[in-house]
Amino acid sequence: MLEGVMLFLFLAVMVQFFTGVLASGFIVVVSAIDLITHRKMAPLDLLLSCLATSRIILQMCVFLVQLSLLYLVKYSLFVDNITFVLFINELNLWLATWLGVFYCAKIATIPHPFFLWLKMRISRLVPWLILGSVFCSTITAIIHSRETTTIPKQTFTSFFSKNATQFGQINATLLSVFILGLTLPLLIFIVAILLLISSLCNHSWQMKTMVGARESNRYSIISAMLSILLFLFLYFSHYMIVVLMSTQGFQFGRASFQVGMLVFGICLSLHSIVLILGNPKLKQNAKMFIVHCKCCHCEKAWIISRAVPATHHSATKT
């Protein structure tokens, strides 16, 4: 029974990992091809490629932890590099936050001077926002490495220890510093997403009352709202799981931690897929890639089917 559960968890971990890496890698490849073709990269593509790259690295870190829980690698590899994991996790949250702000600035219509200023300059601000995210994440990681290293080490060591019920006491002030670095991008993200949803709702209501408004436009708005709500749900789930882990919320041993890490990895993978489906260019390239794979498979099957009768005929003739 235990071997069956371990096998199921291993397969779930592998599917979650490769799905997330392939989806994020697809975003990076498409952006790289555009950069090579046009010798420049659009601000949105730059932001998406940076987010996808950080997500691939974070997926690898999660995969390492999951293998540790399955006793396939030593957990000390993760604990010893916890500062880097904190850096890449916070960078991922900041980049996802700025992606939400970018969509809000480009799509929403809010008659406010600051919003109009942001709408006109958001594209030029994208490189600075990315650099600012790297800077903030680096500063936070340095603070953690010097003063709050005991928070992640105590937490993760206790999860992997044989006696998972014995937890060290974590200083509340140090834990507050740790969570603050995660909460600030969350608040910015929530404000941007709520403003975007409010704007889309107002636009949908105006189209509903407008004579001759196309139903397809309303459906596209509803589809966009659903994608945004899913984006918000995955982002908040990412935040909550990290907070629960840092505050030792999963205090019932390895099983709860295993489930938390699995859900965390699934959130990362699903969000990369949502980004592809919500971006027209990425979605179109994904369709072309799938069609190309199907054509290659059909061509290979046709060649094999032609080769088999020929081989059978020559063997019969002999």
* Domains located in the chain, CATH noted: 2-284 (1.20.1070.10)
CB 69 within 8 Å of CB 56: no
Which of 33-42, 74-83, 97-106 bottoms out in mean pLDDT, i.e. has the lowest?
74-83
The pLDDT value recorded for residue 165 is 45
Question: Residue 314 above 60 pLDDT?
Answer: no
Question: Tell me, what's the pLDDT at 212?
Answer: 52
CA nearest 13: which of 234, 262, 242, 254? 262
| Choice between 50 and 179, residue whose per-residue pLDDT is larger | 50
Nearest to 273 by CA among 18, 14, 12, 19: 19
Lowest mean pLDDT across 21-35, 61-75, 89-103, 226-240: 61-75
Entry pTM: 0.82
Percent over 90 (pLDDT), the chain:
18
Q: What is the CA radius of gyration of the chain?
A: 24
Q: For 159-179, what is the mean pLDDT?
A: 55
In Å, what is the CA distance from 105 to each residue of 50, 102, 112, 201, 205? 19, 5, 12, 16, 20
CA 126/CA 155 separation, integer angstroms: 35
pLDDT at residue 197 above 50? yes
pLDDT at 169 over 50: no
159/115: higher pLDDT? 115
Average pLDDT over residues 267-291: 84
| pLDDT band for position 162 (cuts 50, 70, 90) | very low
**Cβ(105)–Cβ(159) under 8 Å?**
no
Tokens describing residue 77: 């590899």
Average pLDDT, the chain: 77
Local confidence band at 288 (pLDDT 50, 70, 90 cut-offs): confident
